[in-house]
A and B are shown apart, each in its own frame.
Chain A
């Protein structure tokens, strides 16, 4: 049997955190510093969506797996005024968590007693989160009684604690972890704990939704865009192990991979290589959210009279395991990478990321059924003047196909519909970058709807001012083909049939749960 690693399971989560838009999104915090009396800041409360509106928003239901990406074609753009009736909080891949439960989760994953939540708020949130189907007894036990509001106010006033709000009301704070060290100040700890909590939620959903034995996980790679450390090692790490600990993965260690928005695809390739090499058997890649990006394009949304659509934190997790003859394989031999010498012209970038892996496999542009590129939701980016990001990517891939004489020029217009998808992911940096499709791709590859997909991640490294280089990596994921050589290795047709039947049963049971 070929020893490519497989995609054994995926999870996708969102947390609706409207109060954090105003208090923690950098567009808003910068505005408050520059002009505290700004009209925009005053208008924000009128442009926030309710939890129900966030649930029924079609792109969000696609993200958590209740609807397929292609179903978005049914809704005329823009989508912010369209609804999926009877939308569920729990999805086939994950869930959409409301703010009060998420604040409780931040407290649960805080092991240094840095988060304080007010008493009455804690009482309400505790009841809700204790009913959550995936909360372990260990996590539940971490949420004790709350604090007096006076204590919380004192920490905010005297020790620069970061305030936590719910329904515009102060309900808690995140304390600083050091008096002087800026790397441990309340702002950084708040940002990191939110990333950790959303990563933990994605991890818990991965385990639960895919019936995974958590003890079998032996490595975790975290690939968000935050950095945890102190003044002697600003990005020392390690979110991966912190998340694994909270998820109960007692047999796992792990590490963090950073490459801006490209990190998840770097992590996918690395995890698959670790499994293929036999170093580890079950590797989870996981990323939590970027709270700073909430409301990033809020000014443009408000100016155009539409709700602030960047109101959710995102997270995802994927389990990469040894080849089981059923799940889709990660073709670690068909990888594209933007190299130091590649150059930054779009043509050079697309050639390195799209054409190179195809050439390695003797494939044409049209041999890939679906390309998963930067799957940003165009509802968010178009009003801000950034256009429809996936569509631009598909046009470029098609143009590359024309240059390679694999497509006619007239095909550029229809390529996106046939080999692409409308974008549905929130603009949380690394979250939309190639990975949102892995869950849907796994289903489509298992069902035989598609044969092959390419996942492409790109990152803007120059933002860190260390290099002017752009970055990107890509990899092909294919249907698991059980061929003659597989049979020779001892897995019988009956065994494979049994495995498929089991996968289908799991699928059906989740449909019922969803």
Chain B
């Protein structure tokens, strides 16, 4: 995750509290999704940005995961994300995201 976005996540969490923030990802593949998810839960794995060593443990989901998809209007989802859902390796992304959440997310919901 680039340094500017790390700073934005950090600022938002400071303002609203960890329990009130959800991070949504739209990365194109599993590895990049996992790295971004790790950054907002366990801290920046590259130790380069403002979240280096900062364990926010936030709720983090990819937009192709059921937890997000089930919450939004189906037509809008189809309109905005349906095409990418066809292209992305959804199973791999879900597995990567689940793994990171199970290991580092502070919230068990």
Contacts and interface: CB of A to CB of B under 8 A. Distances in A.
A399 B28 contact: no
A345 B24 CA distance: 14
Contact of B28 (A387, A398, A412): A387
A402 interface: yes
B100 to A, nearest CB: 16
B83 A350 contact: yes
B87 A399 contact: yes
A509 interface: no
A346 B32 contact: no
Contacts of B31: 385
For A346, A385, A387, A402, which residue has the most chain B Cβ atoms within 10 angstroms?
Answer: A346
B84 interface: yes
A398 B82 CA distance: 13
B82 A403 contact: yes
Contacts of A350: 83
Contacts of A409: 86
Interface in B17-68: 28-29, 31-32
A396 B80 contact: no
Nearest to B48: A34
Contact of B79 (A347, A392, A400): A347
B81 interface: yes
Nearest to A348: B80
Interface residues of B, number: 12
A395 interface: yes
B83 A400 contact: yes
A395 B84 CA distance: 9
Interface string B72-105: 0000000111111011000000000000000000
Contacts, number: 37
A395 B32 CA distance: 18
A387 B28 CA distance: 9
A125 to B, nearest CB: 40
Contacts of B79: 347
B84 A396 contact: yes
Interface in A157-204: none
A346 B29 contact: no
B28 A347 contact: no
Nearest to A394: B87
Contacts of A395: 87
Interface string A400-413: 10110000010010
Interface of B: 28-29, 31-32, 79-84, 86-87
Interface of A: 343, 345-348, 350, 385, 387, 392, 395-396, 398-400, 402-403, 409, 412
Given A347-B83, A396-B87, 12 more contacts: A345-B80, A345-B84, A347-B79, A347-B84, A350-B83, A387-B28, A387-B29, A392-B87, A398-B87, A403-B83, A412-B86, A412-B87
